[in-house]
A = this chain, B = another copy of it.
Amino acid sequence: MSKTKVWTAETIAIGSELLLGGRMDTNSLFIADRLAACGVELRYKTIVGDDLSDIVAVLKTAARRARVVIITGGLGPTVDDLTREAVAQATGHRLGRRKAALDEMTARLAAWGRTPTKAQFRQAMIPAGAAILSNPVGTAPGFALNWKGTFFAALPGVPREMEPMFLDGVSPHLQAWMSSQKAIHATPMIRLVLHTSGVPESVVDQKLTGLLPKGSAIQLGIYASPLEVMVSLTGPETAPEPVTMTQLCDDARTRLGDIVYGEADDTMESVVGRLLTERQMTLALAESCTGGLIGHRLTQVPGSSAYVDRGIISYSNRAKVDLLGVSAELIARHGAVSAEVAAAMARGIRERSGVSVGLSVTGIAGPGGATETKPVGLVYVGLDGGPGDAMTKEFRFHGGDRAVIKQRSSQAALDLLRRWLIKKGCR
């Protein structure tokens, strides 16, 4: 994989709290994909605290190893917000208050019935020569400048401010600047993604062996997480390749078969939601060990109230009896964690709610609750679509804590529903 003549990028996230992790970073994927579309490859990501000299040092390092540097965070009104000052110091472009930035901020605040505070005036300080990037959502403007052959852009860290500012501000400035830099050839790249469920990384790897033609510049990535194995193909948008990206992706899809549940930004819950909507079906849940996680995931999708009718979190046995009509005798005979109880839960929730399909989960998430014959990670999923159309499936999840077992159980249940819905569509 030759690295010469490729535009390389680094992202720098600024904020002492970010050094401690514990937050979901959704900016990186967005930025990586948008940069790839411009022919720029994200190769480094740096996180640094709110310390001026540390930020300056990080900016200088980035300028040495990347042609494009995207900075997020540190543009707020407080004295801890040091991005403006650090860029000015690193690049030698002095800060000055810009009327255009101030006017825009004042107008936005006025629309909210407010006037700028003294602290907010700091946000209009922009390095000399930098282009101002409008913020259509918040008060902090961003900026872009070129320094010693590197393109710098500074944006707020909040995704709903960063994303439109990247699309409307960074992308056009970056493209204009790149086309003025003839030295390096940029090939717009695209990334095609497939999401698979239910099989380990090694199986996906094996099925895709030999997918790429010899000498191909297309990169294949296989990434495992507790919820799925993701396959990505990154390559030139316009193909000087023996096969096109789309052909390769179709080939990968054929090789992987029905373990592929979605592509691009699809999530399991959005795919299931789409299938339910297309079939005009409604769903009710009976969750035991997942404790509400399946309901939570499904209702993350806007519009899910059209097909999610209700859910029962039947954590106690009494709740299974009272709310789902599972017989106490059945629980006593087979145990609450059994295929029989999963089936009764799915049937019970479907019959009592009058929906098209009932989905149930019962299992041992741990760390307690295991018995001689029923280990932590033993999970049963039940599905009931009416008389003669019901099934259960047993899963044994190894090597994960309570949170991971809950996640994998929810994914397994939704995947069973997905496969059932697809078959329904073919009838």
Most buried by B among A1, A3, A23, A65: A23
A53-76 interface bits toward B, Cβ cutoff 8 Å, 1 = contact, 0 = none: 110011001000100000000000
A254 at the B interface (CB under 8 A): no
A314, B319: Cβ atoms closer than 8 Å:
no
A312, B313: Cβ atoms closer than 8 Å:
yes
Chain B residue nearest to A312 (CB atoms) is B312
A367 at the B interface (CB under 8 A): yes
Q: Chain A: interface secondary structure? A: mixed
Query: Contacts A291-B298, A296-B291, A310-B315 given: A28-B20 contact, CB under 8 Å?
Result: yes
A315, B311: Cβ atoms closer than 8 Å:
yes
Chain B residue nearest to A205 (CB atoms) is B78
Contact segment of A44-52, A95-103, A168-176, A377-385: A44-52
Most buried by B among A20, A57, A296: A20
A299, B406: Cβ atoms closer than 8 Å:
yes
Interface size on A, residues (CB 8 A): 78
Question: What B residues does A94 contact at CB under 8 A?
Answer: none
A314, B310: Cβ atoms closer than 8 Å:
yes
A29, B21: Cβ atoms closer than 8 Å:
yes
Nearest chain B CB to A193's CB is how many angstroms away? 10
B21, A300: Cβ atoms closer than 8 Å:
no
A403 at the B interface (CB under 8 A): yes
Question: What B residues does A365 contact at CB under 8 A?
Answer: 299
Distance between Cα atoms of A295 and B32 in the complex (Å): 35
A47, B45: Cβ atoms closer than 8 Å:
yes
B313, A223: Cβ atoms closer than 8 Å:
no
A22 at the B interface (CB under 8 A): yes
Partner of A25, one of B21, B53, B296, B402: B21
Partner of A312, one of B304, B311, B406: B311
Distance between Cα atoms of A294 and B365 in the complex (Å): 17
Partner of A43, one of B32, B48, B230, B311: B48
A371 at the B interface (CB under 8 A): no
Chain B residue nearest to A191 (CB atoms) is B20
A316, B323: Cβ atoms closer than 8 Å:
no
A373 at the B interface (CB under 8 A): no
Question: What B residues does A313 contact at CB under 8 A?
Answer: 285, 292, 295, 299, 308, 310-313
Question: What B residues does A22 contact at CB under 8 A?
Answer: 24-26, 28-29
A221 at the B interface (CB under 8 A): yes
Nearest chain B CB to A135's CB is how many angstroms away? 13
Distance between Cα atoms of A388 and B135 in the complex (Å): 50
A1-44 interface bits toward B, Cβ cutoff 8 Å, 1 = contact, 0 = none: 10100000000000011111111111111001000000000111
Question: What B residues does A322 contact at CB under 8 A?
Answer: 352-353
Chain B residue nearest to A226 (CB atoms) is B23
Nearest chain B CB to A375's CB is how many angstroms away? 15
A305 at the B interface (CB under 8 A): yes
Distance between Cα atoms of A286 and B413 in the complex (Å): 22
Question: What B residues does A311 contact at CB under 8 A?
Answer: 291-292, 311-313, 315
Question: What B residues does A3 contact at CB under 8 A?
Answer: 51, 53
Distance between Cα atoms of A316 and B299 in the complex (Å): 12
Distance between Cα atoms of A313 and B47 in the complex (Å): 39
Nearest chain B CB to A220's CB is how many angstroms away? 11
Distance between Cα atoms of A303 and B58 in the complex (Å): 45
Question: What B residues does A230 contact at CB under 8 A?
Answer: 17
* 17 A-B interface contacts by CB (under 8 A): A17-B223, A19-B43, A21-B29, A22-B25, A43-B51, A285-B313, A287-B292, A291-B292, A291-B296, A291-B298, A292-B292, A295-B296, A295-B315, A299-B406, A304-B315, A311-B312, A312-B312
Please name the 10 residue pairs, one residue from A and one from B, whose CB atoms are nearest each other, closest first: A292-B295, A291-B299, A292-B292, A21-B28, A311-B313, A21-B25, A310-B319, A17-B223, A45-B47, A292-B296
